[in-house]
Amino acid sequence: MSAKFEIYKDKAGEFRFRLKAANGEIIASSEGYSSKQACESGITSVKNNAGTAEIVDQT
In a domain, residue 34? The reply is yes
For residue 27, what are the domain limits? 4-49
Q: What is the pLDDT of residue 59?
A: 94
Give 15-19 contacts, CB < 8 A, sequence gap 24+. Answer: 15/39, 17/42, 17/43, 19/46
Asked if the structure places residue 57 within a domain, the reply is no
Q: What is the pLDDT of residue 40?
A: 98
CATH value at residue 25: 3.30.160.160
What is the model's pLDDT at position 53?
86
User: pLDDT for 21-57, tens place per residue?
Assistant: 999 999 999 999 999 999 999 999 999 998 888 989 9
**Residue 27 in domain:** yes
**Number of folded domains in the chain?**
1
Predicted confidence at residue 4, as pLDDT, reads: 96
**Within a domain: residue 24?**
yes
Q: Do the domain assignments include residue 54?
A: no
pLDDT at 50: 86
Q: What single string gives the DSSP state of each residue in 1-57?
A: ---EEEEEE-TTS-EEEEEE-TTS-EEEE---BSSHHHHHHHHHHHHHHGGGPPP--
